[in-house]
Amino acid sequence: MKMSTLTTLSVLLAGLLGAGTALAADREAAQACRADFKKFCDGVRPGGGRGAQCLKQHEAELSEGCKTAMAGAARCVEKLREVCGSAGDAEARKACAKAHASELGGCKDAG
């Protein structure tokens, strides 16, 4: 079964960002990059960093909205890592993100 482009992007960003939780910035980046991913990376099988690598290879060609959203998501992940470090498994990272939501600002957990 083929994943939808948005689902693929969400999985890609979760893996790329290593947060183990759906941050609002991840979701925004997935939405903003949906057309770019479909245009440049439609045949790329998700997993193993292949989707992220494909987007990186086409970075100069990505829409401004996608570039901006990806940069925002990357900032959120860096912030999450600063606050939570490598807080164990996905559930531990999610709990840490929720516990430190005020410190994470616009990078709040989206569920």
Q: Round to whole Å and give the CA distance between 34 and 12.
A: 12
pTM of the model: 0.63
Per residue in 89-101, pLDDT (tens digit) is 778 877 888 888 8
Structural domain including 43 reads 5-104
Residue 76: helix, strand or coil by DSSP? helix
Residue 110 belongs to some domain of the structure:
no
Residue 51 domain flag:
yes
Residue 111 maps to a domain: no
Q: What is the pLDDT of residue 25?
A: 64
- pLDDT confidence band for 28 (50 / 70 / 90): confident
111 CB burial (10 A radius; 0-12, 13-18, 19+): exposed
Q: Provide the phi-psi class of 48: left if phi over 0, else alpha when psi is between -120 and 50, else beta.
A: left
Band of pLDDT at residue 68, cut at 50, 70 and 90: confident
Let me know if residue 36 belongs to a domain: yes
Domains held by the chain: number: 1
